Structure 1
Amino acid sequence: MASDTTQVLLAVEAEAYIEALEKMPIKDVGSPRWMKQHEYLEKLNMQAVLNASANEDEFIKEMLVTHEKIPVVIHELLSVELWRQKVFSIIQKMNFDPKTTFPLYMALYHEATLANLLETILYHREPCESAEDCVLDLVDYCHRKITHLIARQEDDRESKDDKDNKDKGSMEELKRQDRKLQFDIGIKAVSILRYITDHVEGLPLSVTTRILNTHDIPSMLVQLIESPPWTVFKDGKLDKFIDNKWQSVPVEERLKLTRIEGQVWIALFNLLMGSTTQEKYEFNTYNKNQIIKLRAHLSEVILDQIPSLCDLQRYLEHLAMMDPPAAKSGLVLEQVPEVRDLIIRENDGKWGAIAKHQVKTVFNPSSELMKQQAKMFADTYNFDVLESLIQEPPKCAMCGELAAKRCSRCQNEWYCRRECQVKHWTKHKQACNLLAEAEKKLKEATIS
């Protein structure tokens, strides 16, 4: 049981929330009923992260398995992904100027909440196995998100020198926030995929086939090693995406693996060194050449950090000198993902009508509804609870030293002393204005 200092939900509350989880139609995205489920999932997500971080009893994971709700969580993830692709894309093309974009943002943020919850609980074998056939859809989801990570060309960092942001309208700003969310979700998809590879031996054979041969995920992971989207080298400086934000990496720590880099290497090790996966991986000239590229990246520094990769290094040397054995084949009745296809069939030809309906109703809320939502958001996103999710002490946004003071206006940036805050103001001003304005609107909606 979680201690009182790190508790969002009591066990009895969590169980009630989990029992209430249901598969929501896409047309209900943004509705009061949908928002209530978002609140439940967000609190469950925060409690799951707190328990995992503190190495405490992970009762959220256990209850989700007991009540057979892992497939529901995956269904909601795929549903909101389709809402973004099919409905939000139409809304973006409308001449829609809402009083507030907050309900739309929460619909987009819902995907990140679900991805984070799955990332937290799928570390364990039981939730992964209880996903049953839905794990095939989850593999496809991760493949889509990682492919998007590899394909995107723009720099997804919060650009501190972007002079155009101040002139953007609310919908344009929402598009920018969506791009950042999608980058964050892509990072989570890498971790989810790694955990699936941890447990692939206990999953249906169709999962292994889909990972290795339908999508050739080992070759895709090699691309992440070759051109990591979470690393940017510019003007002699190296920035890496660490702990959900871009950080400058000093020269002496450039070869130190970040958590996400470690996830990629472990996933590759699982897929290339597992007995079942070695038997099933269908090699050809292309993927053999891709896999062999890993040799150049297995330096002594990397091997010191993940010693088990020494076995992978020997395997690669052997692979380079000879043709790999043919994959074992046989008559296999392969399962195919069904959840996403079913959602598409249910809503085929209705995307435009759903967008128009939601623009007129849930995404253009009355003052009374906004007041209710503002109170719900204020209760859900309690800053005292969110502070306890931070695993490391805050650091100065200017110099990187340990910080004890924070911006009094937005409460978002930390500083070690007044001088650093003054120097950083020109870079922080824009974000500070946005956060302060959002807080002001939230208070006004609550008071009115």
Structure 2
Amino acid sequence: MDSILLPNEIEMYIDTMSPQKMQNLGSHQWLEFHQRIQKLNQEALIEVSALKEEHVKETLVCFGKVPILVHEAVLISIWKQKVLPQLLKLEPCPETTIVAYSVLYHEAVSVALLELVLFHPNCCETLEDAAADLLEYSCSNVSQLLSIKPIDPPLNEKSEKEILRQKNNLSFEIGIRCLTIVRYLAENLDGLPVSTKSKIYGDYDVPILFTEILSVAPWIKGNQIYTGGKWRDWDKEQLGQHEAQVWLTLRQLLLDNECSKYYSLTDRHRAQLAKLLPLLTPTLLDQLSPLIELKHWLCRLSVMEKSASQPKPLLIETILDIKEAILKQTEGKWKTIAKKQLSNIFPVERETLHEIAGKLSDAYNTEFLEKFDEAKGDAKCAGCGKDAIQRCSRCHKVWYCNRECQVNHWNEHSTNCSP
């Protein structure tokens, strides 16, 4: 698929990126910024799917702009909790919801781009202090998967109900993407501030959170599984991509050499983690063989005698710089901000609506989305042709459904496998 941005456009878009202010959401200047983030996300999708040089990722790293994507996600998260309810009180039945949806969608686009680029360790390292905000944000959104479910649009839906449904459905998609983001943070803890490791085991207790997520399996709905942003038919055996991310995160955290230093295995932890053993079925282990080590660890844990004294986790105070800066800037004046934003979020003038529609049509580029859905398909195993969930960790170009296929295919792949 052809690129939609030239290299100099990518560099210009990223070089001029700056954190947006709460008061400016929905303005013409903000719509221009949203359009650029959306195009960068589309270009990054093309580069990954076509196995091209990942120019968007490299430029974000080079200019140190990855933390801005975190800022945008946190900003909209606060906006939809604090300002959107005030806007709907001021205008309970808005004539159009196109701008309000774009603000909500901006969060999803920022998270989608983060999910793409954080696959690379050097990108995770550029987060620096923003890693704390990203971890808190991601775990908060993952925890929402325990309760929220996607909602189908009903007939004759009122505008207020439409916005709340869109908010709910985007929260589900963001939570699903955050599963992958937490995995990437877990795999690159050595390159992040020490406080991140302390928080992932301590305050957010990701091992227990992800155990609960597995028990709920929000990516499953009857005979369908959520993958690639869509609900697809499921044979009840094939391992889904999102479930794989959860298992790999648990394996990474629990088998980490420093797990015992940060994670106190209390009676509660043992009881919760024991729920994982029945889920580690032979079918699952065939599809994701690294989990065999995790099963052995859990078996040892179940028969291990309790320690006389549990190690205390290392507690390090963490300041959420991005979130604190946004809250300080807004001073809690949510109603005042809502009044100023009302005409931008719910515009009524026909000329303004036409101009906004033109900008957003160019940003969302439905023709691109249709072509991309047709072209990308599901990743296929290079060994057997089945749906694949793991990329070669060396070249990141070839996909496999399990370890056995990767080993059998190595003689053929080794000649082309290069970092």
TM range (shorter): 0.7 to 0.9
Please give the alpha-carbon distance, in whole angstroms, between the structure 1 residues aligned to 2:83 and 2:115: 26
SS, match of residue 364 in structure 1? coil
| Structure 2 stretches lacking a partner, 5+ long | 379-419
Identity %: 30
| Structure 1 stretches lacking a partner, 5+ long | 160-164, 394-448
Q: CA deviation at 1:362?
A: 4.4
Please name the residue that 1:180 is paired with: 169
SS, match of residue 225 in structure 2? strand
Preserved CA contact (<8 Å) 1:281 1:327:
no
Please name the residue that 1:405 is paired with: none
1:304 aligns with 2:293: no
Of 261-270 and 169-178, the range deviating more from structure 2: 169-178
Please give the alpha-carbon distance, in whole angstroms, between the structure 2 residues aligned to 1:361 and 1:308: 51
Q: 1:324 and 1:214, CA in 2 relative to 1: closer, same or farther beyond 3 A? A: farther
Of 103, 107, 111, the match for 2:107? 111
Please give the alpha-carbon distance, in whole angstroms, between the structure 1 residues aligned to 2:314 and 2:286: 42
SS, match of residue 155 in structure 2? helix
Q: CA deviation at 1:185?
A: 0.8
Please give the alpha-carbon distance, in whole angstroms, between the structure 2 residues aligned to 1:349 and 1:84: 14
Please name the residue that 1:380 is paired with: 363
Please name the residue that 2:233 is paired with: 248
1:271 aligns with 2:267: no
- Amino acid in the other structure paired with 1:190: L
SS, match of residue 231 in structure 2? strand
Of 253, 260, 268, the match for 1:286? 268
Please name the residue that 1:158 is paired with: 152
Q: 1:315 and 1:133, CA in 2 relative to 1: closer, same or farther beyond 3 A? A: same
Please name the residue that 2:21 is paired with: 25
Please name the residue that 1:86 is paired with: 82
- Amino acid in the other structure paired with 1:296: P
Preserved CA contact (<8 Å) 2:99 2:344:
no
Please name the residue that 2:399 is paired with: none
Of 327-336 and 96-105, the range deviating more from structure 2: 327-336
- Amino acid in the other structure paired with 1:356: K
SS, match of residue 347 in structure 2? coil
For residues 385-396 of structure 1, what are the structure 2 equivalents within 5 Å? Answer: 385-390=368-373, 391-392=376-377
- Amino acid in the other structure paired with 2:289: P
- Amino acid in the other structure paired with 1:271: L
Please name the residue that 1:346 is paired with: 329
Could you list the per-position Cα deviations for residues 374-428 of structure 1 after superposition, in whole angstroms to 9, with x for gaps in the alignment? Answer: 22122222233223422129xxxxxxxxxxxxxxxxxxxxxxxxxxxxxxxxxxx
Preserved CA contact (<8 Å) 1:232 1:239:
yes
Give the count of matched residue pairs. 375
CA RMSD of aligned residues (A): 1.9
Preserved CA contact (<8 Å) 2:202 2:313:
no
Of 102, 106, 111, the match for 2:98? 102
Please give the alpha-carbon distance, in whole angstroms, between the structure 2 residues aligned to 1:365 and 1:13: 33
Q: CA deviation at 1:264?
A: 0.5
1:192 aligns with 2:177: no
1:223 aligns with 2:219: no
Of 143-152 and 116-125, the range deviating more from structure 2: 143-152
Q: CA deviation at 1:330?
A: 8.6
Give the structure-1-normalised TM-score: 0.80
SS, match of residue 226 in structure 2? strand
Point out which structure has higher relative CO (alpha carbons under 8 A, 6+ apart).
Answer: 2
Preserved CA contact (<8 Å) 1:242 1:258:
yes
Could you list the per-position Cα deviations for residues 335-381 of structure 1 after superposition, in whole angstroms to 9, with x for gaps in the alignment? Answer: 33221122112212310011111113443253222222222122222
Q: 1:88 and 1:282, CA in 2 relative to 1: closer, same or farther beyond 3 A? A: same
SS, match of residue 285 in structure 2? helix
SS, match of residue 354 in structure 2? helix
Please give the alpha-carbon distance, in whole angstroms, between the structure 2 residues aligned to 1:65 and 1:89: 36
SS, match of residue 6 in structure 1? coil
Please name the residue that 1:337 is paired with: 320
